[in-house]
Amino acid sequence: QVQLVESGGGLVQPGGSLRLSCAASGSLFSLYDMAWYRQAPGKQRELVAAVTSGRTTNYSDSVKGRFTISRDNADKKVYLQMNSLKPEDTAVYYCNAVRVTMKGADYWGQGTQVTVSS
């Protein structure tokens, strides 16, 4: 069992920055691929950024150059640094953990709201 808890969301003006955190429970955190997803009103949930157990990163084209995903295996946390925020970044952001080689190892956090508005 793995539990994920997101934090760091809030209201920010366009052009501003936020740093989201995801704290994971359990052991073997370093073996999981971690990702941030988001879901805006009226839209499907989409992948924002991912970092694998091997620390390879991938980003949605819409956030490349603005967002940075990172992980701290010692503290069992994953972060999303969001800079140059735009109103279209407004969404609920979710943390996800997947261990591809282990059946049923797919976990989600409760989400944290990010609102970008002047």
Q: 13-67 pLDDT, tens per residue?
A: 999 999 999 999 988 999 999 999 999 999 999 999 999 999 999 999 999 999 9
* Rounded-to-integer distance, Cα 76 and Cα 73, Å: 5
Residue 26: predicted pLDDT: 86
102 — pLDDT class (breaks 50, 70, 90): confident
User: Which residues does residue 20 pair with via DSSP β-bridges, in sequence order?
Assistant: 80
Q: CB 37: neighbour CB atoms within 10 A?
A: 21
Q: Are 30 and 45 in contact (CB under 8 A)?
A: no
106 — pLDDT class (breaks 50, 70, 90): very high
* Rounded-to-integer distance, Cα 59 and Cα 68, Å: 8
